Structure 1
Amino acid sequence: MMGEEKLAMNNPIEGRHGYDTPAPRRLLRRRLGHHWKEQWGIIRTAADWTVFLYILIPGGLLGGRYYYGFWNEPLPTWSTLLPYALLPALLALLMQGGILLLMHEGDLLFLRQRKEWMRTVMLGGILYSLSVTALKITAGFLILLPFLVRGYGLSGAGAGALLALSLCCGTCVKLLTHNVRVQKQGWRRWLWMLLAAWLPCGLYIRAAAVWSVHPALLLLAAAVYAAVAAAALRARLALRGTFLGDVREDFKQRMKIAGLLLRGVIDKPRPTRHKPWTFRKSRPLLRPGTPESRLAGASIKAFIRNPGHFKLYLQFTGVGAIAILIVPGMLKWAVCIVLVLLMASWLVSYWKVFSSEEFIALLPFGKDQKADAGSRAVPILILPFSVLCSAAASVPLYGWWGLAVFIPAGAVIGIMAARVFTALRLAR
């Protein structure tokens, strides 16, 4: 009983009213109403009615004026320079996203035995999500319609066929990607997502661009997408053993608006993994197997496994390489050296944070040992960056000779910068 009460408390609706709803459709309406109330409450935490009054109303009036001008005045010059395929590509972006099934954690005990109720709630959530997607696609299509008709000469029949194709493709993509999300995990999910999302969207963009003057072919393609969507819906309703995946995806969809509002305010929680992506076997990374080498290897593994650190490393590498390529002449080497020094400073700061962690403090390492381990880890971490920066400087300057120069030059610059900063900033 305690477990049932706890699960009921996790479901605000059923926690108050119980699972005594006389009909599944009434439960569906109750959960939809709670979802709307929940989303509106999340929005109200970031904006009150005065924000909507002073932003949405003037924005709507200004947008309406521009839209009227697109239909009755000359189109902007930039619109004539855009390729036609870009407009269907913009509609394809609106087809992405998940599906809300209106499943709650407590259904595992209280509702899962009633298959017809589960099917009704799940089907209602799917139809609701597809309806929202259809409204988004239709709104985007209406915004782009002046450019399609006046800029590219699309006929009325062609516009209607393109809208039908967009709606059918959006429904198909939504259902296929949802089926992948609730069944696959890890790299298999991303591989299947290529087939479920990117392939249908790519074919849609291609068909919309090639058959823009053939409405019948667009309608035929829409019929194909509708048939695939019907098969995907039938497969979704027939799935078994995906309850936990359904609840997980439902929670993501319910918290999507909250995630957008909190982006940049709090860090995104890292997913729990039983095995890391890299260095899956706990073997020493550096030899010989001295305590300093083991500590240095552990810091390198921790750096690469941390998404935030590794992403920032890659971003700084890309920006640094572009900066070196842009500057003229021998300034490339000056910028390269400055960037390597900045990277060395950041890596030493990372090492100091790593070595001061609580689990490192439990190990019997002295200051000298920590400094020696940092002096081994920082040069290894900086080498890829310094070598790539050296390549961006030497290849444009020396051509084929630069291919023979950039590796030793980058290694020397990186190691020297690492030694300077580790000697100055690591206490012994």
Structure 2
Amino acid sequence: MIAKRLFWMRVSRYLKQQWKTVRLIVDWTIFLYGVLPLLIWAGYSYWQVWEGSFPWLGDIPYFLWALLIGWFMWQDRMFVWIERADLILVSNRSMIRDLKWYSVWYHFTQHVIQYGCYVLLLAPILYIKGRSVGEILAFGVALFLLGWCHAWIQYQFRLRHAHLMKRVLMVLLALVGVYALLIDSVLLSVLIGSMMVTFALYVGEGWVSKHPNIGREIEIGERERASFDRVLLTTSGAIEKTSERKRPLYRPRPNRFGTVRRTMAILIYFRTPSHRNLWFRLIPLGVTSVILLPSWFKIVVPIYLLYVAYQEQTSFTREMERHPFFQSIQERGSS
């Protein structure tokens, strides 16, 4: 009961932090004028794919789709909801075991939703290629099983500091399995799937009942839970991007304020009402034009938007270079 309460407290706290971060980035104006038109356009395009308005999607080779899915598989991450304060409870193995089981079910549910979205996006393309609804559902179940085994094996490799080539070979094996599912090769699919399931059971044996790598698991969990905020801070230049190299690259004159200067320029640009209102008018107009314009006339819309963006960037850069604040940053960065 205590483990379940701890698990739900940590998950709810994590989700609230993620939601607060998203709200700081996307306010109601960005959602109304940017996200909402994009969602409408994406839904309309998805319906058009089901109607067969984009037959060229059926001509894309299965290998390219397999590469795309393999790249998404490589991005899958797993972790356990155990924190450093729980180390005093290692003697109480039942609580650690319960937290591990809850973590597994959390990631299982997350993978079901994630791969369900993948199958929904691929469903019209598979339907164009002649697959029935039952075959598409079977493909989704097999793809989920393959992705789950791959994520589980990669997590065990990370715990044991496995060599990078082992991880790459596992990705290649999963890629072959995805390609076999796409080309509907039953024999190859069963062979790859059996290998993945067997290896997943082998590397995960005793993981719930034994805790030899509990410190490593806590470290991975903290890193993965903070990955979204860390990416935002490093992108904005608030913190320096860490290097995983044993011998980091030698930079005699680091440009520490380059990213900060670019990020602040973007923020100042979009916080200026005239610039913001310009794009709040151009983006819905561009989305509407792409929907209504016939055939190749759609190409004119992004070309025009890129031209406007280039002109705005050039004029705003010249304006900011004359600003005393940015001149002081430039002098501090060059000193």
Sort the TM-score into its range (normalised by shorter chain): 0.5 to 0.7
Match of 1:93 among 71, 78, 87: 71
Partner of 2:107: 129
Partner of 1:32: 11
Return the alpha-carbon distance in structure 2 between the equivalents of residues 28 and 117 of structure 1. 11
Deviation at 1:254, TM superposition (A): 0.6
Return the alpha-carbon distance in structure 2 between the equivalents of residues 108 and 23 of structure 1. 15
Partner of 2:218: 247
Cα-to-partner distance string for 1:351-384 (whole Å, 9 max, x where unaligned) = xx49xxxxxxxxxxxxxxxxxxxxxxxxxxxxxx
Partner of 2:306: none
Partner of 2:123: 145
What is the TM-score when the length of structure 2 is the normalising length?
0.66
Partner of 1:105: 84
- One-letter amino acid of the counterpart of residue 246, structure 1: E
- One-letter amino acid of the counterpart of residue 131, structure 1: T
Partner of 1:17: none
- One-letter amino acid of the counterpart of residue 159, structure 1: I
8 Å CA contact 1:92–1:201 kept in 2: the answer is yes
Distance 1:135-1:223 versus aligned 2 partners, 3 A rule: farther
Distance 1:123-1:233 versus aligned 2 partners, 3 A rule: farther
- One-letter amino acid of the counterpart of residue 207, structure 1: A
Partner of 1:404: none
Structure 2, unaligned stretches of length 5 or more? 255-335
Return the alpha-carbon distance in structure 2 between the equivalents of residues 190 and 133 of structure 1. 24
Count matched residues.
251
Deviation at 1:87, TM superposition (A): 1.9
- One-letter amino acid of the counterpart of residue 24, structure 2: T
Deviation at 1:166, TM superposition (A): 0.8
Partner of 1:154: 131
Cα-to-partner distance string for 1:311-353 (whole Å, 9 max, x where unaligned) = xxxxxxxxxxxxxxxxxxxxxxxxxxxxxxxxxxxxxxx4xx4
Q: Superposition pairs for residues 313-392 of structure 1, below 5 Å? A: 350=252, 353=253
Percent identity, aligned pairs only?
Answer: 20
8 Å CA contact 2:177–2:193 kept in 1: the answer is no
8 Å CA contact 1:179–1:236 kept in 2: the answer is no
Deviation larger for 255-264 or 28-37: 255-264
8 Å CA contact 1:134–1:170 kept in 2: the answer is no
Structure 1, unaligned stretches of length 5 or more? 1-21, 277-304, 310-349, 355-428
Return the alpha-carbon distance in structure 1 between the equivalents of residues 134 and 193 of structure 2. 14
8 Å CA contact 1:94–1:137 kept in 2: the answer is no
Match of 1:201 among 174, 199, 220: 174
Partner of 2:54: 75
Deviation at 1:88, TM superposition (A): 3.0
Return the alpha-carbon distance in structure 1 between the equivalents of residues 189 and 4 of structure 2. 36
Partner of 2:43: 64
What is the TM-score when the length of structure 1 is the normalising length?
0.53
Cα-to-partner distance string for 1:156-182 (whole Å, 9 max, x where unaligned) = 333222211110111101111111112
Return the alpha-carbon distance in structure 1 between the equivalents of residues 196 and 133 of structure 2. 22
Match of 1:236 among 202, 207, 211: 207
Return the alpha-carbon distance in structure 1 between the equivalents of residues 202 and 32 of structure 2. 44
Return the alpha-carbon distance in structure 1 between the equivalents of residues 188 and 93 of structure 2. 40
Distance 1:76-1:260 versus aligned 2 partners, 3 A rule: farther
Return the alpha-carbon distance in structure 2 between the equivalents of residues 308 and 37 of structure 1. 40
